[in-house]
C-alpha cells in the first residue's frame, strides 16, 4: 500500500468547503515510509489549522449500533485537499461530499453512497479501512486530538456542579486527615464526593452505596451539631447503566465511622482515631443542637374544638387499597367504601390536617367524623352532594349516589351524645406543623431563644400541601373563585420574627404585596379564614412549617464598587441596598457617593437589571446648594457627606438644608481629622435636624475618639458598620490595613498612619457592643468593601446579640419570660424597620406587615442568621438553596444558593428615588424596567421613631484614655460567637461558640 497524496486546487483557493482528507486502510499494515508520509501530510495540515475531524463508525449500515461497536473507528478530516485515493483503494474515487450530507452526518463520502431516507443512514460498501490514530501514530496523536478538538472536554452544567462537590469533598478530606472535626458543609461534601467516586468506579449498586455512605464518618469526626443537621445526603451519578439517585439516610450514625472509606481516593494517610476526641454525651443533648425546639410540657392541642362529631363503621369492598385524607368530604369517597353516607353528609375525618386513614381490601374500621367548618359548602369529589349542606336534600343525594353505584348501608345512630375531639401532644404537633403558642425555639447556634407569642392559624384546619394534604380542590383550596378573589401565593404556618411580634401565621401575597397575615384557606369548609386570604386554583404554596420568616434586610451603607455585591447580599437575606458609587474608582472605594446627575443616571440605569432594591445617594459635600439640587432631581434618594470630600460645618449645614427642601435623608461620615472642629461643632451644624450618622461606633471613621457620643441626641439616627460587630479577640488586628487601603493612605506618610490609628480604639469598640444592646445605636449596616462585608450584615447582627446575651445576661424586659423576645426584636429592627424609617422607605419595606412589599426571607431554625433557605422579592422567589438542575429531585448535591426566576424579572425590585425626580419626569426618561418608588417622611422623624432602639443615654468619652461613661457600664472583648465553624465552610473564621445550652 503506497500512498499518493495530491493537493486540491479548489481547497487552496477556498472555493469548496466540502472536500476532506480521508485515510483508508489500516495504518498498522502500512510500510513505515508510507506511514511517515501520511503523518507528515496530517501534521502539516494541523499546523495550518485546516483540519476538523469527523469520527465514522466503519460498518455496512451505520445505524447498526451493535455491529459498529465491534469494529474500529474511521477518522475523516474535513476542509483539507482531497487526495488521489488510488494508492489506498482498489480504484480512484471521487471524494466530494454528497449534498444530502451535513457536518453532523455519520455517512461516508463515497461516490456510490445513497442519500439518507427518513431516519436511516445510507448503506455503505464494505469498509476499506480501520484507521486507529493512537496505534498508528503513537504520542503524535495527542497533538492531532488537541488541535482538532479545541472544546474537547465538552462539559455541561451538571458536570460543573459535580466538580464543586468533588473539590469541596477533597477539601474536607484534607481537613479530616489532619484531625479537624468537620462541619455541616464539609461532612456533606465528603460523603457526596466519595459516593460520586464510587459510582464512577462502576463496581457498586445503589443499595451498596446507600450502606457504604453510612460508614464513612462517625460522631467523633464531626462537630456535635452535624449529627442534628445532616439527616440525608442525596447524590446522583452515572452508573454503567445510567444515572441513578443514591440517598444516604442518617449518614452520621456510628461513633467511629471508617476513616479509610472517608479518605477514599485522596491518597492521604489515614490518621489514628486518637487525634479525634471521644464524643462527650453532653454535647449531643437535643437542647444543645442548633434550632432546638422546646414544646410546652404537659399540654395537648385539641383539634376542631366546638364542632359536632359522629362515629361510623366503614368497610372496604374494593380490591385495592383506599386512602382518605383529612379534609376529603366523606360522603364523596370511593364508591367501594360501604357505610352510611347520608349520616356522613357535611362531615370529614376527625384527624390531624393533612393526614389520612387507609383502608386495605376487606378492612372494616370505625372512624370519627367531624363537621366541616366555614360556610359549610361542598364542592368537588364525585359531585354527589355539591352545594351548601342542607339536610332537606337527603333524598335527592341518596338517589344520586345509588344511581352512581356508591355503596351505602344505613347505620342507626349509636346513641353516644358526646365524642371527645382528636388531640395531639405538643411535640407531635411541632414535628408536623411547626412551633405554636408558648413553644421555645433556639435561633441557630446562638444562645438566643424565642417564645411563640400567638398562633393565628386554626388547630385542625391548618393549610398543608402535598399528596393527601389539605390544600386540594374542594378541601383547603376553594372552588370556583377567580384569580382576583384568591391569593397569588400563600406561605403556610410560618413563624414570623419581626419588630411587630413573634408569632405563627399564614402569609398571603397578592400582586407582590402582603395582603393578609393570619388564617388562609377555603372559607367554605374552614373556620376563621381571613376575608382576603382565600386559597384557590390560582394560588401557589410555599410551606413555612418549621421555618422562620423575616422581612428582607436593608443595608444602608453600600459602596457600589462591584455588581457582584448584589448576589452576595441577596444570598445573605438582604433585599435592599442604599449607597453610592460608580464602580471601583478611588472615590467609590472610600465613599458612598454617586456624584453629579450624569453618574446618577448611569448608575440608576446600570442597576435596573440587578435583583435587589436600590436607593442611590449623591455627594453632599458642597457649601453651595446648586449641585446638590441637581443630584436630587436626577434621582438621588439621599445625600452623603463624607470626610474624604471635606465634611465641614458649612457643607453639613447646606446639605441638610437641601435635604429638608426635597424630603430626602442626609447621611454623614464625620471628620476624623477634627479639622474644622470636634464632634460638638458637627452636632451644632446639625441644628436639631434629622440626620443618619454613619460610623457611630468605636472605629471606622468620624470624629476621633468620641463620635460614639452622638447617640444621646434626639435628632441623630445612629448606625454602625459590621467590621467591629461584635468585639472579639481578632477585631483590632485586622483594622489598620483596612483603613489604609480604603482611604487611599500611605504607610510611608506618618500623618496617614496616625490618621488610620486614631480610628481604631478598643475602648470605644467595646462600648459599641453595649450601646447596641441598650438600644442606643439604632441600625447596623455593612460598609461593603470599604471595611465592611455586605454578606454579613445579618450574621454579625445576631453574633452581637449572642455575645451580649453571654456577657450581660437577659435584658430586663426579658427577665422571667424564659426567652429573649425583646432582645430579638431589638436586633432584628436594626437591619429591617429602622433603616426603612430612616431612609423614607418604611411605607413599603422593612417589616412583615399587611400592605408592605413581600420582600421576605425564610430560614430553617438551625440556620437562622447564617444561610437563608429562600429569599422572596415582591412575593416571587429570587434566590433559594437548590440542588443539581439535572437532578431527579431538587435536593441533589451540591445544594447552592442559586438565582431563581425573580432575579430575571426587574419589576420585582424597586428603585427608590426622590419625589422631585418623579414629579419632574426625569426618572421616567431613564426607561427603567423596575418599579420606581419615592422616599418620603425623611425629615420629620427622630430617634423616638426607632423601634426598640430609641434609647438616648448620656455619654462621654475621655479624649486621652478613651474611657467611656455610659450608665456606669464597662465592657471587654470576647472571643466567642454564636455562629462558628459549624456553619461556614471557607469564608468566615470565627471562634468556636460556647457550649450551647449554658444559659
pLDDT tens, position by position, 322-343:
999 999 999 999 999 999 999 9
The whole-angstrom separation of Cα 290 and Cα 612 is 29
- 835 lies in the same domain as 690: yes
CA 680 to chain centroid, in Å, comes to: 45
The whole-angstrom separation of Cα 305 and Cα 691 is 53
Q: Per-residue confidence at 967, pLDDT binned at 50, 70, 90?
A: low
The whole-angstrom separation of Cα 680 and Cα 696 is 14
Please give the C-alpha separations between residue 930 and each of 298, 416, 564, 572, in angstroms, as whole numbers.
52, 63, 19, 22
> What's the mean per-residue pLDDT of the chain?
84
User: How confident is the model over 856-888, as pLDDT tens digits?
Assistant: 999 999 999 999 999 999 999 999 999 999 999
N residues, the chain: 999
324 secondary structure, DSSP code: E
The whole-angstrom separation of Cα 110 and Cα 98 is 8
* Lowest mean pLDDT, pick from 165-169, 186-190, 578-582, 966-970: 966-970
Q: Per-residue confidence at 27, pLDDT binned at 50, 70, 90?
A: low
- 391 lies in the same domain as 266: no
Residue 479 lies in a domain: no
Rg (CA), the chain: 36
pLDDT at 723: 82
The whole-angstrom separation of Cα 582 and Cα 593 is 8
- 212 lies in the same domain as 307: no
Catalytic residue among 743, 744, 843, 968: 743
CATH value at residue 619: 3.20.20.140
CATH value at residue 392: 2.10.150.10
- pLDDT > 50? residue 651: yes
Residue 284 lies in a domain: yes
Alpha-helix runs per DSSP H in 13-126: 32-47, 65-68
The whole-angstrom separation of Cα 79 and Cα 82 is 9
Percent of the residues in the chain that have a pLDDT greater than 90, as a whole number: 69
CATH value at residue 209: 3.30.280.10
Sort strands 364-371 and 309-316 into parallel, antiparallel or unpaired: antiparallel
C-alpha cell at 914: 426622590
- Scored b (16 or more CB within 10 A) or e, 839-853 reads bbbbbbbbbbeeebb
* Residues contacting 687, CB < 8 A, separation 6+: 653, 656
Domain C-terminal end among 262, 289, 316: 289
For residue 735, whether the previous peptide bond is cis, meaning omega lies within 30 degrees of 0, is no
Active site residue 743: yes
Task: Name residue, grid cell 435628632.
Answer: 715
Residue 561 lies in a domain: yes
- 269 lies in the same domain as 308: no
Task: Name residue, grid cell 400567638.
Answer: 454
User: How confident is the model over 765-777, as pLDDT tens digits?
Assistant: 778 889 999 999 9
- 752 lies in the same domain as 844: yes
- Mean pLDDT across 542-563: 97
- pLDDT > 70? residue 985: no
10 Å CB burial of residue 588 (0-12, 13-18, 19+) is: buried
pLDDT at 994: 32
Residue 744 · residue 751 · CB < 8 Å = no
- pLDDT > 80? residue 665: yes
pLDDT at 43: 61
Domain C-terminal end among 231, 265, 289: 289
User: How confident is the model over 148-178, as pLDDT tens digits?
Assistant: 455 577 888 999 999 999 999 999 999 999 9
Closest C-alpha among 845, 842, 801 to residue 551: 845
Residue 105 lies in a domain: no
Q: Per-residue confidence at 26, pLDDT binned at 50, 70, 90?
A: low
- pLDDT > 90? residue 415: no
The whole-angstrom separation of Cα 924 and Cα 642 is 29
- pLDDT > 70? residue 56: no
Residue 841 lies in a domain: yes
Residue 276 lies in a domain: yes
Supply the range of the domain harboring residue 370: 300-423
Residue 525 lies in a domain: no
Instruction: Name the domain count of the chain.
Output: 3
- 400 lies in the same domain as 276: no
- 276 lies in the same domain as 337: no
Closest C-alpha among 654, 542, 551, 645 to residue 594: 645
The whole-angstrom separation of Cα 367 and Cα 211 is 40
C-alpha cell at 101: 450530507
pLDDT at 301: 95
- 262 lies in the same domain as 322: no
- 285 lies in the same domain as 334: no
SS3 63: coil
Domain C-terminal end among 398, 423, 448: 423
pLDDT at 312: 95
- pLDDT > 50? residue 132: no
**What's this model's pTM, rounded to 2 decimal places?**
0.82
Sort strands 716-721 and 779-781 into parallel, antiparallel or unpaired: parallel
pLDDT at 782: 93
- 238 lies in the same domain as 340: no
- 696 lies in the same domain as 842: yes
Residue 494 lies in a domain: no
Alpha-helix runs per DSSP H in 71-183: 133-137, 140-148, 157-177
SS3 561: coil
- 695 lies in the same domain as 795: yes
Amino acid at each position: 500500500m503506497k500512498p499518493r497524496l495530491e493537493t486540491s486546487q479548489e481547497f487552496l483557493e477556498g472555493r469548496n468547503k466540502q472536500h476532506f482528507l480521508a485515510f483508508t486502510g489500516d495504518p498498522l499494515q502500512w510500510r513505515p515510509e508510507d506511514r511517515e508520509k501520511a503523518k507528515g501530510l496530517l501534521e502539516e495540515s494541523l499546523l495550518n489549522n485546516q483540519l476538523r475531524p469527523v469520527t465514522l463508525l466503519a460498518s455496512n449500515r451505520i445505524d447498526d449500533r451493535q455491529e459498529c461497536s465491534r469494529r474500529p473507528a474511521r477518522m475523516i478530516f474535513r476542509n483539507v485537499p482531497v487526495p488521489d485515493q488510488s494508492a489506498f483503494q482498489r480504484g480512484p474515487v471521487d471524494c466530494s461530499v454528497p449534498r444530502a450530507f451535513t457536518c453532523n452526518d455519520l455517512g461516508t463520502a463515497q461516490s456510490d453512497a445513497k442519500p439518507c431516507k427518513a431516519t436511516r443512514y445510507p448503506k455503505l460498501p464494505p469498509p476499506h479501512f480501520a484507521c486507529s490514530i493512537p496505534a498508528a501514530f503513537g504520542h503524535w496523536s495527542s497533538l492531532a486530538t488537541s488541535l482538532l478538538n479545541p472544546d474537547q472536554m465538552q462539559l455541561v452544567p451538571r458536570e460543573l456542579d459535580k466538580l464543586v462537590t468533588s473539590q469541596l469533598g477533597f477539601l474536607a478530606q484534607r481537613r479530616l486527615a489532619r484531625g479537624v472535626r468537620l462541619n455541616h458543609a464539609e461532612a456533606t461534601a465528603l460523603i457526596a464526593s466519595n459516593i460520586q467516586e464510587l459510582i464512577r468506579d462502576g463496581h457498586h449498586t445503589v443499595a451498596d452505596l446507600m450502606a457504604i455512605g453510612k460508614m464513612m464518618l462517625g460522631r467523633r469526626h464531626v462537630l456535635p451539631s452535624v449529627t442534628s443537621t445532616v439527616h440525608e445526603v442525596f447524590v446522583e451519578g452515572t452508573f454503567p447503566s445510567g444515572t441513578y439517585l443514591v440517598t444516604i439516610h442518617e449518614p452520621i450514625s456510628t461513633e467511629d465511622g471508617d476513616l479509610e472509606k472517608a479518605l477514599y481516593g485522596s491518597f492521604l494517610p489515614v490518621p489514628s482515631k486518637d487525634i479525634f476526641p471521644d464524643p462527650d454525651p453532653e454535647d449531643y443533648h437535643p437542647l444543645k443542637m442548633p434550632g432546638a425546639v422546646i414544646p410546652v410540657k404537659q399540654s395537648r392541642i385539641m383539634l376542631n374544638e366546638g364542632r359536632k362529631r359522629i362515629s361510623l363503621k366503614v368497610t372496604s369492598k374494593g380490591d385495592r387499597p383506599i386512602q382518605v385524607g383529612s379534609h376529603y368530604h366523606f360522603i364523596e369517597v370511593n364508591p367501594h367504601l360501604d357505610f352510611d353516607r347520608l349520616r356522613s353528609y357535611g362531615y370529614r375525618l376527625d384527624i390531624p390536617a393533612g393526614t389520612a386513614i387507609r383502608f386495605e381490601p376487606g378492612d372494616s374500621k370505625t372512624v370519627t367524623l367531624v363537621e366541616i367548618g366555614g360556610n359549610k359548602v361542598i364542592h368537588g369529589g364525585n359531585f354527589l352532594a355539591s352545594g351548601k349542606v342542607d339536610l332537606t336534600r337527603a333524598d335527592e343525594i341518596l338517589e344520586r349516589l345509588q344511581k352512581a353505584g356508591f355503596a351505602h348501608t344505613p347505620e342507626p345512630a349509636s346513641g353516644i351524645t358526646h365524642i371527645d375531639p382528636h388531640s395531639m401532644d405538643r411535640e407531635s404537633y411541632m414535628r408536623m406543623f411547626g412551633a405554636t403558642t408558648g413553644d421555645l425555639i433556639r435561633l441557630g447556634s446562638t444562645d438566643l431563644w424565642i417564645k411563640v407569642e400567638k398562633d393565628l392559624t386554626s388547630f385542625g384546619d391548618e393549610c398543608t400541601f402535598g399528596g393527601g394534604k389539605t390544600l386540594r380542590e374542594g378541601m383547603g383550596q376553594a372552588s370556583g373563585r377567580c384569580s382576583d378573589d384568591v391569593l397569588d401565593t400563600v406561605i403556610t404556618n410560618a413563624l414570623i420574627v419581626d419588630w411587630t411580634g413573634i408569632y405563627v401565621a399564614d402569609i398571603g401575597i397578592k400582586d407582590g404585596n402582603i395582603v393578609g397575615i393570619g388564617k388562609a384557606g377555603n372559607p367554605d369548609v374552614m373556620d376563621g379564614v381571613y376575608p382576603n386570604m382565600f386559597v384557590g386554583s390560582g394560588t401557589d404554596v410555599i410551606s413555612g412549617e418549621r421555618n422562620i420568616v423575616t422581612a428582607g434586610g436593608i443595608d444602608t451603607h453600600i459602596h457600589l464598587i462591584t455588581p457582584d455585591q448584589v448576589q452576595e447580599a441577596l444570598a445573605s437575606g438582604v433585599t435592599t441596598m442604599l449607597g453610592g458609587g460608580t464602580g471601583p474608582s478611588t472615590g467609590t472605594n472610600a465613599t458612598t457617593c454617586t456624584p453629579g446627575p450624569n453618574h446618577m443616571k448611569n448608575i440608576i440605569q446600570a442597576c435596573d437589571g440587578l435583583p435587589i432594591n436600590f436607593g442611590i445617594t449623591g455627594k453632599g459635600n458642597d457649601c453651595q446648594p446648586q449641585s446638590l439640587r441637581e443630584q436630587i432631581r436626577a434621582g438621588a434618594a439621599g445625600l452623603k457627606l463624607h470626610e474624604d470630600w471635606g465634611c465641614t460645618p458649612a457643607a453639613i449645614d447646606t446639605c441638610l438644608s437641601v435635604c429638608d427642601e426635597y424630603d430626602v435623608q442626609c447621611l454623614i461620615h464625620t471628620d476624623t481629622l477634627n479639622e474644622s472642629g470636634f464632634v460638638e461643632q458637627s452636632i451644632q451644624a446639625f441644628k436639631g435636624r434629622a440626620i443618619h450618622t454613619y460610623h457611630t461606633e468605636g472605629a471606622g471613621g468620624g470624629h476621633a475618639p468620641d463620635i460614639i457620643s452622638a447617640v444621646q441626641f434626639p435628632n441623630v439616627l445612629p448606625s454602625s458598620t459590621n467590621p467591629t460587630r461584635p468585639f472579639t479577640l481578632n477585631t483590632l488586628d485586622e483594622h489598620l490595613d483596612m483603613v489604609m487601603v480604603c482611604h487611599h493612605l500611605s504607610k510611608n506618610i506618618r500623618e496617614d498612619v496616625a490618621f488610620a490609628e486614631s480610628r481604631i480604639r478598643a475602648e470605644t469598640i467595646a462600648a459599641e457592643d453595649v450601646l447596641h444592646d441598650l438600644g442606643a445605636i439604632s441600625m447596623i449596616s455593612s460598609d461593603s468593601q470599604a471595611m465592611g462585608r455586605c454578606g454579613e450584615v445579618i450574621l454579625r447582627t445576631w453574633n452581637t446579640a449572642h455575645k451580649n446575651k453571654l456577657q450581660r445576661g437577659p435584658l430586663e424586659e426579658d427577665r422571667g419570660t424564659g426567652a429573649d423576645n425583646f432582645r430579638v426584636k431589638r436586633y432584628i429592627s436594626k437591619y429591617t424597620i429602622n433603616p426603612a424609617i430612616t431612609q423614607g422607605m418604611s411605607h413599603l419595606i422593612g417589616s412583615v406587615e399587611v400592605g408592605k412589599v413581600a420582600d421576605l426571607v425564610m430560614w430553617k431554625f438551625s440556620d437562622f442568621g447564617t444561610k437563608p433557605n429562600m429569599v422572596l422579592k415582591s412575593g416571587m422567589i429570587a434566590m433559594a438553596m437548590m440542588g443539581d438542575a439535572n437532578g431527579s429531585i431538587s435536593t441533589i448535591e451540591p445544594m447552592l444558593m442559586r438565582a431563581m426566576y425573580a432575579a430575571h424579572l426587574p419589576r420585582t425590585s424597586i428603585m427608590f428615588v426622590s419625589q422631585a425626580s418623579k414629579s419632574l419626569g426625569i426618572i421616567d426618561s431613564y426607561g427603567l424596567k423596575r418599579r420606581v418608588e419615592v422616599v418620603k417622611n425623611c425629615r420629620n422623624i427622630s430617634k423616638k421613631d426607632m423601634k426598640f432602639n430609641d434609647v438616648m443615654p448620656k455619654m462621654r468619652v475621655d479624649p486621652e484614655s478613651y474611657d467611656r461613661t455610659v450608665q456606669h457600664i464597662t465592657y471587654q472583648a470576647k472571643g466567642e460567637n454564636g455562629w462558628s465553624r459549624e456553619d461556614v465552610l471557607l469564608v468566615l473564621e470565627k471562634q468556636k461558640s460556647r457550649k450551647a445550652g449554658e444559659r
